[in-house]
Structure 1
Amino acid sequence: MKGNKIKAFKCLVLGLAMFLLGIGANFTAKADSSLQAVKEKGVLTVATSPDYPPFEFQVNKNSHSEDVGMDIEIAKQMAKDMGVKLKLKNMDFSSLLVAVETGKADMAIGGINPTPEREQNATFSKIYYSGGQSFLVKKADADKFKNQASLSGQKVGTQTGSMQSQLAQKNLTNSKLTTMDKTPDLILALKTNKLSAVGVEKPVAEAYVKNDSELKMINSDYKIDKKDVGAAIAFKKGNDSLAGAANQTIDKIHKQDKIPGYIEKAGKYLKVNTANTSMLHYWKFFFNGLKATLLISVLAVIGGIILGIILALMKISKFKILSWPAISYVEVVRGTPMMVQVLLIYFGLGVLINIPALLAGIIAVTLNSAAYVCEIIRGGINSVEKGQGEATRSLGLSQVDSFRYVILPQAFKNIWPALGNEFISVIKESSIVSIIGVTDLVYELNVVRADTYRGVAPIVVVMVIYFLLTFLLTRGLNYLEGKMKHD
């Protein structure tokens, strides 16, 4: 009897051990399925920010843009080694790690440094490039700023979230540090005397110096280990098999010494861009941005009006089950920045549904506009005398017909100027969608600035386009307002 119990106990322990091993194997399989998932899709989706030559930027080929640069060549080689196609997703540098974390991309590449803080939320490949650190200064200040020590007490700029920003905080303790999202913005600030120097990687500094005679490069003199500091590729936390495949490609690239060739190829593309830096040469970029801006604005205005009317009717309803959700929605939307809303729609909902960047931008701008349109329409409805409603009921009209034929037409006539201002605001505020890679006017503006090394001219062009859009819309709205008054 005792022996049977011992056997039963042994069987139980053995079964439990096998069960736990099975769970462990299952977790391991899940953890290592990232590479297999990419191969099954047949596509390697890579997030990048193409405004950082020579790492990644866009070349103007026959008025068509194409992502090029050292990082793009590395991504192409990885896709080739995995036997899949390469798909690039362009967005702001600050959104790259979020893209892999939320599954919007399989990997992110863009001169990303694998800091201990980032490694807590992402898996990184080996360092694939470490080109050294430099500062860009104005050529006129070259005698004044010769090294890191001479920047003490000066204003120094770096890109937000970059390795250069962390190095500056650690080494330039006596300098006044500032960060910006875009390297072209930093260069413009430098050239307009807002900054004394800009910290960038050496290849980036060399590219700017070659293409901008007003700039000069100086060494950073940072004491860093090239083995520990450099650019790596980011993956979703736990995607070890995909990172392992990337490491194999990186080892292959280093063994065959392909990096110098990639940089040389990027330099040739830069010469193509800077051969003709006139804004007319880049008209297709601005035209494509204009189309995206108009599409987002028109759809957001239409959707905002429809949803705004529904919210307004819910808000003035006597039933709390209808009014409270509308009140809460309006307060939340008006109390948070649109940029946060855009990121939430694209990345937050993206965890559940893979929403394309353009669609996410349209949804976010529509939902934002609806909250303001709701308040405008509610104010218009309240501005109509109560006697109007009483008169319609005495004529036997239902409440729905009363609103449709009497109240809302008068309300729209009263709120038309305010509604017109909201339309204009939508056109201008829709530019925020560029942070998730929607190729609107502002996105194309940054691309042209990075490609041509011209800081002001693209801004002027986009400003003129926005002005013409809002000017023509204002004239049209004023014409319709006059017709309403005449009627």
Structure 2
Amino acid sequence: MNTNQKIKFVAVLLTLVVLFGLTAIAQEDDADQRYTIEVVTNPDFAPYEYLVSEEYEGIDMDIWKAIAQALDCNVNFNVMDFDSIINAIEAGRFDVGASGFTVTEERKEQINFSTTYSTAHQVALVLKDSPLANAKTADELMNKSVAVESGTTGYYLAADVFGEENVTPYNTYTDVIQGLVSGYDQFAVLDDLVAESFADKYGTLKILDVSIPGDEIEEYAFTINKQNVQMLQYTNRAMEYLQGMGVIDDIFAYYASINYDPEQVGYFSAHPEKLAEIDVVVKYQPTDKYTIQVATNPDFPPYDYTVSGDYEGIDMDIWKAIGYVLDCNINFNFMEFDSIINAIQTGRYEVGASGFTVTDERKEMINFSNTYAVAHQNVLMLKDSPLATATSWEELQNVLVAVESGTTGYYLAADVFGDSYVYPYNTYTDVIESVLTKYSAFAVLDDLVAISYVEAHPDELMILDVELPGAEEEQYAFVFNKSNTELLGYTNKAMTYLEEKGIIDDIYAYYASISYDPEVEGYFSAHPEALKKLEVLVHYVPGQMKETVQVATNPDFPPYDYMVSSSFEGIDMDIWKALGKTLDFDVNFNYMEFDSIINAIESKKFNVGASGFTVTEERKEMINFSETYAVAYQKVLMLKDSPLATATSWEDLKNVTIAVESGTTGYYLAADDFGDSYVHPYNTYTEVVQSVLSGHDAYAILDDLVAVSYVEAHPDELFILEVALPGAEAEEYAFVFNKADTRLLEYINTAMIYLKDTGVIDDIFAYYGSISYDPEVVGYFSAHPEALAAIQVIDHYTAEDPGSGTEGKGWLESFWDEIIKNFVEKDRYQLIIMGLQNTVYITIIGLALGLLIGILSAIVRSFHDLRGNFKILNAIVKVYITIIRGTPLLVQLLIIYFIVFASSGLNSIIIAGIAFGINSGAYVAEIVRAGINAVPKGQLEAAESLGMNFNMAMFTVILPQAIRNILPALCNEGISLLKETSIAGYIGIVDVTKAAMLIRSQTYSAFVPLIGVALIYLVIVLILQYLVGILERRLNDAYR
């Protein structure tokens, strides 16, 4: 070989080396571009996960190696204690948790589960030479030490069956087995395959043929963060492919063939060629999916309600469809109806979906989406009500009317019957409960809501066929923050697509088919395939990314807004899901009290309010309304055995208490028709209905579908009274938006028109009709996810910076205008006066009763301490004090109101005074006792040496000195009691705080009413402190 040949040879060789190096670098770069899925596990759970020479092996590990191959990803395994994994997933530290997780409802509230891949059950493992080795029943294992791994199914089962005192929880299964082998524990409870694996490893162990009580077949799945829906979807897609190809079956078969030996390498380590044979199904690259936060009040069936913690209803299903169409997540958030618009204004949530009626007044505060329903106000009452035969609204006068605060029914009732007869409740549940318990003669509420409650209480409630003056057809729409015009625009485009596709019609049809039963899951929960049929029209990402529209809703308004197993369901929710799909954005539903949603929208806390908002001129002044999507009527919901069940006109419903949700149309209608003094405003429809059921209120006034939904939930107790309420007109529901968010409103309206034209909204309503508006049935898109998948994305909504806006009035002038609007206009100060009177009454009753109970209890305890008397009474007093001081006052109030004094006929103010008095008495008892103990014992001895008996010495010598010592503490307790009465609104009493909330629900002013109430409390407290100071000085002078 000559020199030239040698040079050519070397050149070729170098070229090949360079090319090989570049190829390797390119491959490495390509590998680096692959996403690495971070999987956290506890490799102490053979045969599912274990280590062999520091290599991760096991069934779970092999499945994830296969998933990574199918998704063209890398996978990295991380070690963590089992009971810390879910928290780590929630915190976003890892993508996936894989350690034999059993699917449970409790865990579903924290994380999402993948498709299940295995089943298991719990077994008992013992040493072969143990005295328990021949046990045949679980009874033979009682009172024996049992080893378990902390946080596992075995741990909870062992604690339930064998008692926590006998359970030893360890951090790992290795420690569990060590505790068993060492003789520290007598047996262990663990999963069957895991037990087989350890029995194979340790020849000294055996599995008992014993059935453990409560042991059921468990399903294993991987855990994924709730927000990481994309990871969940890709994982499930890959698992579906692997199951179809038989790969997962091959993995299980391999481990069975090695007897689940934890010292053997795993399937793909033994057969690497099998991993290489798996095709790439889709390349996974994570992208943020926007979550629209929807605030709803799931107390408004069939629009909004909950079934087993899941949000259901027409609103919920529409929002699921919107979310699917816009390729978004939707998070439903519970909120009182009359708080939703406030929450949307403040930006807390993006959408309010709870059967919001489109009104000009709301449009001034928030934006409305396209409308998706039409509603009318109906009168709902007990079938046996004396008013059940009423034929006109005049017959319904001078009785208490239950309405939900802040709703169209509330304002209508207030206008027709007078504020003094209207009881505004926080929820429709309270409204219905008020009717059922006969505290209110009837309720005024939206038509479908009333139907829903009648369906829930078919034997008790009825809708009275009476037309209320001023009751017009309402259009429902979702509500958005004014500044969130981008989300509104996307929502409207999605809703338009859903209507064109018939999805909203399907949703309504479904709820009609279930008779608007609020105990039946929503359309998409019942037909998840319908949601999947929808097409993603656009990937909603606000501001260069997929947007998450924050929807404020009160999921207490089935079928429009409710929850099923922590999932937001209902017409509003489904429309928003469809809007999300149509405009390619995420939807996150956020819970909020209904009467706070508009304020939240105004303050830009959320983008949209969606909770069956009735469109009203007053609301239009505060927010913008979307296109309407539903029409509702206020209905009267009452117990079937109510004396008013036979009422034929609204006049028959007068002079009884009425349950309503605060801030709702039913609240205002009841207040107008029957007067404020008869109206009990509750925070949620759940409380409204509970009030009717418990007999505290004669009936409730609520939206028709919501009433139907609750009737469906209580078919043997409730019915809708067919009585027309004066002022009850067809209401239109719409979503509410912030005034500045015109961009979102434009998008949402476009999408809603599309959803209407395509029939999506009709499908949603049809679905809820098909499930009788049952609030325990999942929503349309939960039941029919294919319907959501079929919705096309018609546009890509992106939010824009709304800017600072034009310069307005000075802050002082604006503040003065707010004072005039909130307290002077329409004589709203009278609500404050009424609330102040009720607050004073409750405080006086509570203080008097508390002093009586407290002093008597203190005397009993002191007599026992000093003389050993009253042993039984002392024990009773100690239990009383422990229970009262150890439980929340609000819980005590609700128990006393809804349970202890249910159907008692007592005035709510008296019941509240009793509840506060019982609570205060426990604290007064300890204050008085401490004062008695503070008096030197020598005083008692000296008195007795002078010939006084014990009783005389106690009442003439000890107590006078004790009172002087405890007077400041007693006065402080009185002041605390005064401030604690602010929770009286939870049982429908209009105290000072509730009065402020009612004013907020009318004016949608977030702060001025609350500041006014705070000043009232402050002035009263300062006056009391001044008077107490004078009294203290006089006592001190007297004792000098």
TM-score (norm 1): 0.72
Letter in 1 for 2:426: D
Match of 1:218 among 617, 623, 626: 626
Alignment correspondent of 2:445:
110
Give 1:301 deviation, angstroms: 1.8
Alignment correspondent of 2:910:
359
SS of the residue 1:401 aligns to: helix
Give matches, 1:23-34, under 5 Å.
Answer: 34=384
Give matches, 1:386-397, under 5 Å.
Answer: 386-397=937-948
Deviation per residue, 1:274-319 (Å, 9 max, x gap):
9962524533332332222223223322321122100112233232
The separation in 1 between residues aligned to 2:723 and 2:847, in whole angstroms, is 51
The separation in 1 between residues aligned to 2:832 and 2:944, in whole angstroms, is 54
SS of the residue 1:298 aligns to: helix
Letter in 2 for 1:52: G
Alignment correspondent of 1:8:
none
Q: 1:37 to 1:202 in 2, by over 3 A?
A: closer
1:451 paired with 2:972, answer no
Give 1:182 deviation, angstroms: 4.0
Alignment correspondent of 1:133:
476
| Mean Cα deviation higher: 424-433 or 197-206 | 197-206
Match of 1:326 among 857, 877, 884: 877
Alignment correspondent of 2:414:
67
Give 1:459 deviation, angstroms: 1.2
Alignment correspondent of 2:849:
303
Q: 1:144 to 1:436 in 2, by over 3 A?
A: closer
Deviation per residue, 1:390-413 (Å, 9 max, x gap):
111111112222121221222223
SS of the residue 2:894 aligns to: helix
Deviation per residue, 1:146-205 (Å, 9 max, x gap):
24356963332223511342225556565332333342x222222223222111435336
Q: 1:158 to 1:127 in 2, by over 3 A?
A: farther
1:92 paired with 2:430, answer no
The separation in 2 between residues aligned to 1:240 and 1:442, in whole angstroms, is 32
The separation in 2 between residues aligned to 1:105 and 1:258, in whole angstroms, is 17
Letter in 2 for 1:162: F
Letter in 2 for 1:277: K
Alignment correspondent of 1:233:
636
Deviation per residue, 1:51-101 (Å, 9 max, x gap):
33532228xxxxxxx8226xx69xxxxxxxxxxxx9644433341122233
The separation in 1 between residues aligned to 2:970 and 2:644, in whole angstroms, is 53
SS of the residue 1:203 aligns to: strand
Alignment correspondent of 1:369:
920
The separation in 2 between residues aligned to 1:360 and 1:38, in whole angstroms, is 28
Give matches, 1:249-288, under 5 Å.
Answer: 250=722, 259=729, 277=821, 279-281=823-825, 282-288=828-834
Does the 8 Å contact 1:46/1:109 carry over to 2?
A: no
| Mean Cα deviation higher: 274-283 or 360-369 | 274-283
Alignment correspondent of 1:158:
553
Give 1:446 deviation, angstroms: 2.3
Does the 8 Å contact 2:474/2:615 carry over to 1?
A: no
Alignment correspondent of 2:967:
416
SS of the residue 2:561 aligns to: helix
Letter in 2 for 1:408: L
The separation in 2 between residues aligned to 1:244 and 1:39, in whole angstroms, is 3
Alignment correspondent of 1:17:
none
Q: 1:293 to 1:127 in 2, by over 3 A?
A: closer
Q: 1:330 to 1:241 in 2, by over 3 A?
A: closer
Does the 8 Å contact 2:443/2:637 carry over to 1?
A: yes
- Judging by fraction of residues, say which structure has more helix: 1
Give 1:328 deviation, angstroms: 1.9
- What is the RMSD computed on CA atoms of the aligned residues? 4.0
Alignment correspondent of 1:190:
601
The separation in 1 between residues aligned to 2:1024 and 2:728, in whole angstroms, is 53
| Mean Cα deviation higher: 189-198 or 333-342 | 333-342
In structure 1, the gaps of 5 or more residues are 1-31, 59-65, 74-85, 264-273
The separation in 2 between residues aligned to 1:39 and 1:237, in whole angstroms, is 13
| Mean Cα deviation higher: 419-428 or 185-194 | 185-194
Alignment correspondent of 1:25:
none
- Judging by fraction of residues, say which structure has more strand: 2
Letter in 2 for 1:49: V
Letter in 2 for 1:54: T
1:180 paired with 2:523, answer no
Alignment correspondent of 2:213:
none
Match of 2:489 among 146, 166, 169: 146
The separation in 2 between residues aligned to 1:258 and 1:33, in whole angstroms, is 20
Q: 1:139 to 1:178 in 2, by over 3 A?
A: closer
SS of the residue 2:942 aligns to: helix
Does the 8 Å contact 1:146/1:218 carry over to 2?
A: no
Q: 1:35 to 1:193 in 2, by over 3 A?
A: closer
SS of the residue 1:242 aligns to: coil
Does the 8 Å contact 2:410/2:424 carry over to 1?
A: no
Does the 8 Å contact 1:124/1:232 carry over to 2?
A: no
- Among the aligned pairs, what percent are the same residue? 23
SS of the residue 1:175 aligns to: strand
Does the 8 Å contact 2:944/2:950 carry over to 1?
A: yes
Does the 8 Å contact 1:345/1:360 carry over to 2?
A: yes
Alignment correspondent of 1:7:
none
Deviation per residue, 1:230-280 (Å, 9 max, x gap):
754322146699379579985989xxx9836x99xxxxxxxxxx9962524
Match of 1:345 among 891, 896, 904: 896
Give 1:358 deviation, angstroms: 1.7
Letter in 1 for 2:592: M
Letter in 2 for 1:34: D
Give 1:429 deviation, angstroms: 0.6
Give 1:441 deviation, angstroms: 1.0
The separation in 2 between residues aligned to 1:456 and 1:96, in whole angstroms, is 26
The separation in 2 between residues aligned to 1:147 and 1:219, in whole angstroms, is 12
The separation in 2 between residues aligned to 1:290 and 1:239, in whole angstroms, is 32
Give 1:382 deviation, angstroms: 1.8
SS of the residue 1:146 aligns to: helix
Does the 8 Å contact 1:47/1:99 carry over to 2?
A: no
Which protein shows a greater Rg?
Answer: 2
Count of residues in correspondence between the two structures: 412
SS of the residue 2:919 aligns to: helix
Give 1:386 deviation, angstroms: 1.8
The separation in 1 between residues aligned to 2:991 and 2:452, in whole angstroms, is 35
